[in-house]
Amino acid sequence: MSPQSASKAQTMDRTLFARLTGNLGDQATLAKLGAAFTQVYAEFLPDIIKSETGLDITIAYAGCQSGPMNDLIAGLGGNHALINGSLRNWAPKFVLGCGAGFIMTLMEHMLGARPEDMEAAVARPLSAIELDLSVMVFDKIANVLRSAVNAPGGFEPYLDPPYNIEDRPKAAGDEGNDFAAAITMTISLGKSMSQIVIIVPQRDLLRTVVSAPRAKNPTAASQAWSDQLGEQVRRSQVTLEARIRLQSLTLDTISKLAVGDVIPFMDNTGDVRVEVSANSKDLYICEFGRSGENYTVRVKDNVNSDDELLRHLMN
């Protein structure tokens, strides 16, 4: 922006200035663009999900809102996962959102739940493991977006790590708070209905020509995607807790314990039993020991099967 334009922007109403410079569109234009994006997503994203997971989803247009980017993001409310992105030769910044319910339901299926047994997910922020797995969901969403806008050069979208909307840092002032549009689509999977949201500055959106990509034959990528999901789960960090039972004491004795007093383990002879858990779920029966300067536990038995364990850790 030239110094003269910047000076005019400071003295002119922000909304009027944005409209005069082509950075703010009317509702009819935005709705047309939103519907065009939805048409592309409705045609291609279900095929991608079907070919790679075997699940049937449906996409429908839910509206297009206009306003400052920070306000549009805040208006999503809770229980959405977000990812910040950019695509060279189209938009230097945009935000993708996905309702937590879709990712949670998809996760249940990938961990072995049958579609007919899956209930609508109870809305909540995603766990760390679910956020890890949402990376691939956002990758599919971003690639359909890339195909729809057909940015010159054929560059791939750049995506930051996903995060829960509750964890988004508060914006400082109006920096980066451009007039944007939030294109909202519903995404249905079984009994779960969530949203996909594309939030992009209008200066970039209004210059966009939406075109449907060429249809591709479904690939045999289902197993590969399942393997990727499983690998993401297994690479995620989980906090473990160990419990050792102590000898029973009377309340009178407990009330008189002082610094330096010793409480014996429940097991007076043999190996000391340790119960290891994560997310309040018992995982292993272990024995207490020591290796060099470190106290350790040695696994003696599994409490649950691998599938049961992974399913619980997702919650």
Structure tokens at 67: 């306003």
Residue with tokens 């922007």: 9
Q: Among the three residues 235, 266, 287, which one is the final residue of a domain in this structure? A: 235
Contacts of 121 (CB under 8 A, 6+ apart): 100, 101, 104, 105, 108, 192
Q: Write down the pTM of the prediction.
A: 0.68
Q: Do 200 and 220 share a domain, yes or no?
A: yes
Q: Among the three residues 235, 252, 286, which one is the final residue of a domain in this structure? A: 235
Dist CA 199 CA 69 (whole Å): 7
Q: Do 258 and 160 share a domain, yes or no?
A: no
> Going residue by residue through the chain (315 aa), what tens digit of pLDDT does each one get?
555 555 444 545 666 655 655 567 788 989 999 999 999 999 999 988 888 778 889 999 999 998 889 999 999 988 999 999 999 999 999 999 999 999 988 887 777 666 666 677 777 899 888 888 889 899 999 999 998 998 888 889 999 999 999 998 876 656 667 889 999 999 998 888 899 999 999 989 989 888 876 655 444 445 555 566 666 656 666 677 888 888 888 888 888 888 888 888 876 666 788 888 776 677 788 888 888 888 888 888 876 665 565 555 555
Question: Cβ(185)–Cβ(35) under 8 Å?
Answer: no
Q: Do 301 and 222 share a domain, yes or no?
A: no
What tens digit of pLDDT does each residue of 170-205 get?
A: 766 566 678 899 999 999 988 888 999 999 999 899
Q: Do 50 and 165 share a domain, yes or no?
A: yes
Q: Do 198 and 63 share a domain, yes or no?
A: yes
Q: Among the three residues 235, 250, 270, which one is the final residue of a domain in this structure? A: 235
Q: Do 160 and 174 share a domain, yes or no?
A: yes
- From residue 171, give the alpha-carbon distance in Å to each of 68, 69, 70, 176, 183: 12, 10, 7, 9, 21
Q: Do 95 and 217 share a domain, yes or no?
A: yes
Nearest alpha-carbon partner for 179 in 159, 203, 155? 203
Q: Where are the beta strands (DSSP E) in 28-103?
A: 57-68, 80-87, 91-99
Structure tokens at 63: 């509206």
